[in-house]
């Protein structure tokens, strides 16, 4: 499913990943770490001290029968718990703060990464895989850090403190507690490998669920129109069932250690009780020693169990960290090239020189295309579907780079100038209009950040959008909905044209800009485009005759080549490809008109 680098490489092994996490992500926040660790040390001390205090209390009550001491111990215990309460609160806040910061850092990094990808990036993979990696990954990074700090801080230090109490109270008995460790660790080692495999499967399945959901959301219209509900349900079902299955497997494997651990612990505790009783009865140890030891042992049990599971929990979460780093580490498709010289425009003359290009190796789309587009002229690309017209615009915008040949603007090869400087000089209206979430005003203003209200209205008027915008009750504040779905196709198109107009760029690329307009609005938009094109270099792709007829030059694209070029009348005289194309369209138009005329 994924084309990201497989996670098996050395780089993504447990230890290098942990080192990277601790050095890259964590060390920058070291003051908070130190604070968290200090607070955890206080917690650990308080826990160990309370075990010790229990013994003292029992001796005071049962052996010495000293009432004043008991009260003093009671007050002390209260104080210990107050200290522990604040330390617990403080360390939890610190650890969360670090975790949240790491999540935020990674979200920013992933988004930067996304912006640096080329247009072809998502042709090979589903867009939600990216989102899924981001959410799982960022969360996992913070979980791993959390597990690490908690283990190193609270659990490890508690264990040291409690061991100290145990050893001081009863050194021999403490040895028996150590016996439990080797078999427990051995058991854990075996489980780690399996947990890693299952966690990966869970992630893959989870991604598939999100993909299916996202597709269903975007294609809801089609699903309903074609009655595809059951088919979509079936697709989701397969992924959901597999994730459920993997999760159950995870539950079984990850918890497999629990019964063994409990049995080991029960065995040790029963030994401690018998031996401790023997010490009190036969060798004259105080009951306080016995109870302190037992309390310390019982309190040590939970942190010890968590430490034993540490590797397991880490590996479970590291799967998420790996999927994140795989994306962050993959080389960007469109690395920053701002160090290249900027495009210097004078006449804005655009030229294709024997350009060859293919999206996939072995299937050439452009096969040696050469033409020039002059300033103050409208050049139109026409031709059958799939001929490579939109590809020409993709290459001018450097969404893709040419395989061979050159694209020149004022004599500069666009491959040698920075992408930003190139794109800044181009206003583009794509074949599929994309509007962003927000209002109509927001969307027009995206063409020129910081545009004034007057500029926005002027652009909308020029694109013949002003009138329909004012017809909405909210006017320019009308929300367009996700992808602009709350507007009609023609309205979306005119807003996209306004967005291009406001950019006021010297080069204009229009891909079927008038495709979804009725004849009346099309004529208005044509006027707008004619106005827009004055003094600029314009390349327009259109199927409608009206656009084609007024163009200064028409290039007929077929099979990735320019097969004819000239003005409308010249091409008609030639009686070649263009002429037959034209006649076909005329016929289509009259076919449409006749029945209407007959009514
Ligand atoms: N991202 C892509 N990956 C692979 N092949 C692609 C991609 N985009 C387009 N193609 C292929 O390249 C060829 C030219 O596509 P292009 O979009 O340039 O055609 P077009 O002339 O604009 O057609 P239309 O008039 O239908 O818009 C087509 O055969 C198409 O299948
Ligand atoms: Mg196209």
CATH 1.20.1560.10 domain extents, the chain: 10-329
* Spacing, Cα 582 to ligand 2 middle (Å): 18
Supply the pLDDT for residue 590.
66
Query: Which residue's entry shows tokens 């309205």?
Result: 491
Mutate to test the pocket of ligand 1, among 355, 356, 380, 387 (most ligand atoms within 8 A of CB): 387
Mean pLDDT across 275-282:
84
Residue nearest to atom 5 of ligand 1 (CA): 359
Is the predicted pLDDT of residue 248 greater than 80, yes or no?
yes
Mutate to test the pocket of ligand 1, among 391, 429, 433 (most ligand atoms within 8 A of CB): 391
Is the predicted pLDDT of residue 404 greater than 90, yes or no?
yes
* Spacing, Cα 391 to ligand 2 middle (Å): 7
Tens-digit pLDDT profile for residues 209-238: 888 888 888 888 888 888 889 998 998 898
Distance CA(336)–CA(223), nearest Å, equals: 40
For the 429-504 domain, the top CATH level (class) is alpha beta
Residue nearest to atom 2 of ligand 1 (CA): 359
Q: If you count them, how many residues does the chain have?
A: 599
Is the predicted pLDDT of residue 425 greater than 90, yes or no?
yes
The residue with greater pLDDT, 341 or 525, is 341
Distance CA(545)–CA(148), nearest Å, equals: 68
Mutate to test the pocket of ligand 1, among 121, 366, 388 (most ligand atoms within 8 A of CB): 388
Mean pLDDT across 134-159:
85
Tens-digit pLDDT profile for residues 9-24: 677 888 888 888 877 7
Least confident of 53-67, 353-367, 566-580, 582-596: 582-596
Q: Which of 248, 236, 256, 138 is nearest to 202 (CA)?
A: 248
Mean pLDDT across 543-553:
77
Pocket of ligand 1 (CB under 6 A): 123, 359-360, 365, 385-391, 431
CATH fold of the domain at 343-425+506-519+533-599:
Rossmann fold (3.40.50)
CATH 3.40.50.300 domain extents, the chain: 343-425+506-519+533-599, 429-504
Q: Which residues contact 597 (CB under 8 A, 6 or more apart)?
A: none
Tens-digit pLDDT profile for residues 285-313: 888 888 888 888 888 888 888 887 788 88
Residue nearest to atom 16 of ligand 1 (CA): 388
Supply the pLDDT for residue 257.
72
What is the percent of the chain with per-residue pLDDT over 90, rounded to a whole number?
26
Is the predicted pLDDT of residue 4 greater than 60, yes or no?
no
The residue with greater pLDDT, 83 or 284, is 83
Is the predicted pLDDT of residue 5 greater than 90, yes or no?
no
Confidence of residue 7 (pLDDT cuts 50, 70, 90): very low
Tens-digit pLDDT profile for residues 153-197: 888 888 889 888 888 887 877 776 676 667 666 767 777 777 778
Distance CA(468)–CA(472), nearest Å, equals: 7
Identify whether the C-beta of residue 47 lies closer than 8 Å to the C-beta of residue 162: yes
Supply the pLDDT for residue 295.
86
Burial class (CB in 10 A: 0-12, 13-18, 19+), 399: middle
Is the predicted pLDDT of residue 402 greater than 90, yes or no?
yes
pTM of the model: 0.77
Identify whether the C-beta of residue 442 lies closer than 8 Å to the C-beta of residue 436: yes
The number of CA neighbours under 13 Å toward the Cβ of 414 is 31
Supply the pLDDT for residue 351.
95
Supply the pLDDT for residue 597.
37
Task: Write a three-state SS string for 317-331.
Answer: HHHHHHHHHHHHHCC
> C-alpha 133: how far from its chain's center?
6
Q: Is it true that domain 10-329 has CATH number 1.20.1560.10? A: yes
Burial class (CB in 10 A: 0-12, 13-18, 19+), 528: buried
Q: Which atom of ligand 1 is nearest to the CA of 119?
A: 1
Supply the pLDDT for residue 243.
86
Supply the pLDDT for residue 594.
45
172 φ, ψ (degrees, to nearest 5): -65, -45
Q: Which of 99, 93, 84, 89 is nearest to 41 (CA)?
A: 84
Q: Which atom of ligand 1 is nearest to the CA of 557?
A: 21
- Estimate the share of the chain in helix, then strand, then coil, as percent rounded to the nearest 5: 70, 10, 20
* Spacing, Cα 359 to ligand 2 middle (Å): 14
Residue nearest to atom 3 of ligand 1 (CA): 359
């Amino acid at each position: 499913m994924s084309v990201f680098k497989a996670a098996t490489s050395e780089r993504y092994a447990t230890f290098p990943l942990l080192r990277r996490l601790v050095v890259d992500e964590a060390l920058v926040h070291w003051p908070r770490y130190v604070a968290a660790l200090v607070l955890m040390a206080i917690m650990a001390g308080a826990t160990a001290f309370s075990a010790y205090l229990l013994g003292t209390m029992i001796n005071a009550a049962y052996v010495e029968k000293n009432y004043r001491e008991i009260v003093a111990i009671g007050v002390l215990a209260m104080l210990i718990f107050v200290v522990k309460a604040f330390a617990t609160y403080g360390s939890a806040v610190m650890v969360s703060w670090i975790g949240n910061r790491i999540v935020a850092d990674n979200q920013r990094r992933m988004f930067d990464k996304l912006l640096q990808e080329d247009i072809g990036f998502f042709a090979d993979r589903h867009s939600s895989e990216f989102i899924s990696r981001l959410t799982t990954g960022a969360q996992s990074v913070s979980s791993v850090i959390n597990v690490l700090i908690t283990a190193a801080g609270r659990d490890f230090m508690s264990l040291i403190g409690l061991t100290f109490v145990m050893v001081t109270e009863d050194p021999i008995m403490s040895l028996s507690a150590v016996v439990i460790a080797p078999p427990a660790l051995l058991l854990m080692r075996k489980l780690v490998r399996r947990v890693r495999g299952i966690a990966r499967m869970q992630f893959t399945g989870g991604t598939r669920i999100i993909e299916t959901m996202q597709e269903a959301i975007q294609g809801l219209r089609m699903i309903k129109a074609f009655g595809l509900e059951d088919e979509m349900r079936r697709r989701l079902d397969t992924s959901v069932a597999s994730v459920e299955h993997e999760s159950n497997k995870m539950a079984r494997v990850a918890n497999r250690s629990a019964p063994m651990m409990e049995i080991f612990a029960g065995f040790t505790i029963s030994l401690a009780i018998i031996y401790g009783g023997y010490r009190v009865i036969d060798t004259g140890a105080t009951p306080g020693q016995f109870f302190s030891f037992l309390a310390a042992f019982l309190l040590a049990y939970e942190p010890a169990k968590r430490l034993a599971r540490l590797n397991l929990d880490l590996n479970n979460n590291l799967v998420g960290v790996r999927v994140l780093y795989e994306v962050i580490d993959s080389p960007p498709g469109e690395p920053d090239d701002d160090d290249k010289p900027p495009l210097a425009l004078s006449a804005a003359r655009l030229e294709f020189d024997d350009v060859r290009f293919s999206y996939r190796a072995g299937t050439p789309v452009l096969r040696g295309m050469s033409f020039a587009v002059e300033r103050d002229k409208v050049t139109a690309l026409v031709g059958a579907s799939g001929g490579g017209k939109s590809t020409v615009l993709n290459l001018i915008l450097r969404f893709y780079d040419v395989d061979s040949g050159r694209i020149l603007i004022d004599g500069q090869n666009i491959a040698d100038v920075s992408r930003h400087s190139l794109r800044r000089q181009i206003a583009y209206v794509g074949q599929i209009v994309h509007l962003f979430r927000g209002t109509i005003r927001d969307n027009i203003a995206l063409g020129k950040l910081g545009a004034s209200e007057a500029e926005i209205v002027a652009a909308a008027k020029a694109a013949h959008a002003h009138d329909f915008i004012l017809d909405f009750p909210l006017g320019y504040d009308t929300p367009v909905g996700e992808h602009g779905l709350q507007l009609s196709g023609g309205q979306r198109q005119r807003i996209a044209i306004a967005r291009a107009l406001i950019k006021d760029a010297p080069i204009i690329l229009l891909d079927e800009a008038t495709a979804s307009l009725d004849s009346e609005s099309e004529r208005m938009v044509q006027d707008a485009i004619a106005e827009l094109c004055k003094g600029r270099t314009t390349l327009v792709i259109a199927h409608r005759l009206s656009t084609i007829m007024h163009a200064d030059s028409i290039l007929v694209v077929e099979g990735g080549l320019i097969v004819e070029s000239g003005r409308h009348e010249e091409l008609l005289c030639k009686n070649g490809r263009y002429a037959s194309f034209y006649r076909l369209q005329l016929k289509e138009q009259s076919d449409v008109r006749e029945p209407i005329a007959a009514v």
